[in-house]
Amino acid sequence: MDRVALHGLKARGHHGVFPKEREEGQTFVVDLVLGLDIRPAAAHDDLTKTVHYGIVAEEVVAVVQGEPVDLIETLAERIAQVCLKHDVVQEAEVRVHKPDAPITVPFDDVTITIIRSRA
């Protein structure tokens, strides 16, 4: 399976279990690796035979900016389902970063990574 990757998609969302997270929001960063067969697109030099990563990026940002959820696990699941709505995408690896998570000790990042497929 071939891979199309998008790294560092940034959007502001209001996800989290604490009232401050819901009220003020924070930046979330999303990395995607989409599994698909790009041979038909490459053979015909045809965008309609692959995934349009610009559209996927817009859809992912819309999910992050959309309805708040408590858990980034839920956010990752929603993003994966959006990716799998594209017929050519057979698998989606989604990593959601929450660099401003409300943790009381020094840290660089919090991430959740899921892999979902049609099978």
pLDDT tens, position by position, 63-80:
999 999 999 999 999 999
Please determine, for residue 119, whether its predicted confidence score (pLDDT) is greater than 80. Answer: no
Domain residues for the domain of 112 are 2-117
Indicate the pTM of the whole model. 0.95
Residue 25 maps to which CATH number?
A: 3.30.1130.10
Give the pLDDT score at 51. Answer: 98
Q: Quick check: is 98 catalytic? A: yes
CA-CA distance, 10 to 114, in Å (whole number)? Answer: 18
Render pLDDT for 22-74 as a digit per residue (tens, 0 to 9): 999 999 999 999 999 999 999 999 999 999 999 999 999 999 999 999 999 99
Domain count, the chain: 1
Give the pLDDT score at 36. Answer: 98
Nearest to 80 by CA among 113, 37, 45: 113
